[in-house]
Structure 1
Amino acid sequence: MKNVGIISQARMTSTRLPGKVLRPIAGRPMLHYHVQRLQASHLPIYMAITTNQTDDVLADFAQAHKLPYLRGSEDNVLSRYWHCAEANELDVIVRVTSDCPLLDGELIARSVQEYLRADDNRLYLSNVLERTFPRGLDFEIFSRELLAEAMQHATLAPDLEHVTPYMHQNRSGTVRFWHIGRQPDRSSYRLTVDTADDFTLISTLIEEYNAHQLTTNELIALLDAHPELVALNAHIEQKKV
């Protein structure tokens, strides 16, 4: 049996919306909903946070919620993932980011089962390279073997900050890809939090529509039915890798 774990990266010093992961929504920090949604996967969850003093509050959150965590470099997020995977003896890593409070844990669990059935350490499986899901439901699944290879050979700043470019650009030439998709394509919707307008949408969805209790299909149907909600953050341009 392979040891599978979800590693979520988090920091308080986000450039466009500092402290966003602990901003309150309906009386709870946004990070609460992120973790709650991931728990539906029934997979262990680990937090990869920085050694910055500003992230002591994230360590406190992890301890309060009984989440194992590792602290490392703010800029070299790749090393944070590697050391977290190594310390917890993970064979398979699910990478997510903490600014996605409405991730679908059940979708992640099904995708992990597909990954395990493939039984291929050279496989990179995700729903991010060929996007059909709303941004903010992103996940990547890969082996510790691929992570170790990236840790050894990746040197560019984007490689270190964004963890997986060395893998998904297939610089080794030996990576196999599996893209998880859905139809109709709703990749234009934003359910991630990078700006104040993103936060307004997520807050509205949770406080007024109980979005944290909805499935992915229900979330998309809700946005389909309410273009005025989609418009709240439709103008936001995602930061480029």
Structure 2
Amino acid sequence: MTLAIIVQARFGSTRLPGKILNPLGEKTALARVLDRCARIGGADHVIAAIPETDADDAVAEAAREAGYAVSRGSEDDVLSRYAKAVRDCGAEYVMRVTSDCPFIDPQICERVIALLQDTHADYASNSMPPLFPHGLDCEVFPAVLLYRADRLAREPGDREHVTPWLRQHPHLSHASLTGPGQGLERLRWTLDYAEDLEFFQAVYAELGEAAATASAAELAALCLRRPDLVAINAGRLDQRRLDGCEQAEIVSAPYRFRAAA
């Protein structure tokens, strides 16, 4: 199969405009996400899906400067932007990652891809329920189902958030890689607020360039050793994410962080 990792990215953000162009060490946060995605085994394409707006030209240029392909599409209809990016490269399968996840873990992504293949499900993720640290979410599904969603989804939320139509369709089968839980799901590794940026920059200050390739298990172990780092953005915990746990029809064996045990 041919697999495209599509990373949605934009300049606009009501909470922290231009957040993904901020530096984490020697590279932008966007480049860090794309570099980690490029390490996912089996990925044939890594594409930044960016809106066609003047404000987003800087984001497109940053992605290209980092060495990655760019597809431009609708600013608000992110589902159509994703579908266009996949059509541009002709991949058979799609993995969705968002640009606010500088610690996305390639190994976990590979496990989600394997889960889709092993279970023959239509859709697989690692967030139903969300038991990984916030910022490791990924989803994988066939391109033909993305195109079907693009044709049939009508609700604004389905268009903006790309995969609700796939996750909620009663005739599609779902699989989920279950995270370690035990409180690790309360760790916040997503870039949305100024406190999040401060957290990521503090981790890079602590680990140096090793932070660029540190595994989720290694990062979790660091957080357990350094509660002062966790405290930086703990006040931005998304309780709604934890309260709104979705259960999948097929659930894999739990994924454990051995280094954090």
**C-alpha displacement at 1:132, in angstroms?**
1.1
CA shift, 1:131, in A, is 0.9
Identity of aligned residues (%): 33
Q: TM-score, normalised by structure 1?
A: 0.92
- Partner of residue 249, structure 2: none
Residue correspondences, number: 236
In the alignment, structure 1 residue 54 sits paired with structure 2 residue 55: yes
CA distance in structure 1 between the aligned counterparts of 2:106 and 2:195, rounded to whole angstroms: 25
Aligned with residue 209 of structure 1, among 207, 210, 216: 207
Alignment of 1:160-171 (within 5 A): 160-170=159-169
Shift of 1:239: 9.5
Contact 2:6–2:46 (CA<8 Å) still a contact in 1?
yes
Q: CA deviation at 1:7?
A: 0.1
CA distance in 1: counterparts of 2:118 and 2:174, whole angstroms: 14
Alignment match, 2:191:
193
CA distance in 1 between partners of 2:181 and 2:53 (Å): 42
Per-residue CA shift, 1:181-231, capped at 9, x if unaligned? 232441111100000001110110112124323111111111112222111
Distance (whole Å) between structure 2 residues aligned to residue 148 and residue 28 of structure 1: 34
**RMSD over aligned Cα atoms:** 1.8
Do structure 1's residue 174 and structure 2's residue 175 form an aligned pair? no
Partner of 1:56, secondary structure, is: helix
1:131 aligns with 130
Query: What's 1:226 paired with?
Result: 226
Structure 1 residue 56: deviation in Å? 0.9
CA distance in 2 between counterparts of 1:66 and 1:167 reads 31
Tell me the distance in 1 between the aligned counterparts of 2:178 and 2:206: 28
Task: In structure 2, give the amino acid aligned to 1:137.
Answer: L
- Give the letter aligned to residue 217 of structure 1: A
What secondary structure is seen at the aligned counterpart in 1 of 2:63? helix
Distance 1:240 1:18, change over 3 A: farther
Secondary structure at 1:6 match in 2: strand
- Using the alignment, how far apart are the partners of 1:198 and 1:66 within structure 2? 26
Deviation at 1:125, TM superposition (A): 0.5
Q: 1:153 to 1:240 in 2, by over 3 A?
A: farther
State the SS of the aligned residue for 1:81: helix
Paired AA for residue 33 in structure 1: R
In the alignment, the residues of structure 1 paired with residue 239 and residue 191 of structure 2 have an alpha-carbon distance, to the nearest angstrom, of 12
- Alpha carbons of structure 1 residues 79 and 8: separation in structure 2 relative to 1, 3 Å: same
Helix, strand or coil at the partner of 1:8: strand
Deviation for aligned residue 1:237: 4.6
Measured against aligned partners, the alpha-carbon deviations of 1:147-180 in whole angstroms (never above 9, x if no partner) come to 122111111111111101111122xx21111111
Distance 2:9 2:185 in 1: 23
> For residue 69 of structure 1, what is the aligned residue in structure 2?
70
Match of 2:257 in 1: none
Report the equivalent of 1:9. Answer: 8
In the aligned structure 2, how far is the partner of 1:233 from the partner of 1:117?
37
2:8 alignment partner AA: Q
Counterpart position of 2:114: 113
Structure 1: 4+ residue segments shifted above 6 A: none
Q: Which moved more, 1:181-190 or 1:40-49?
A: 181-190
Provide the C-alpha distance between the structure 1 equivalents of 2:226 and 2:75, rounded to a whole number of angstroms. Answer: 38
For structure 1, the 5+ residue unaligned runs are: none
- Per the normalisation by structure 2, the TM-score is 0.85
> What is the aligned partner in structure 2 of residue 153 from structure 1?
152
Deviations 1:15-34 (A, max 9, x none): 11000001112232111211
Q: Distance in 2 between matches of 1:212 and 1:77?
A: 27
Partner in structure 2 of residue 98 of structure 1? 99
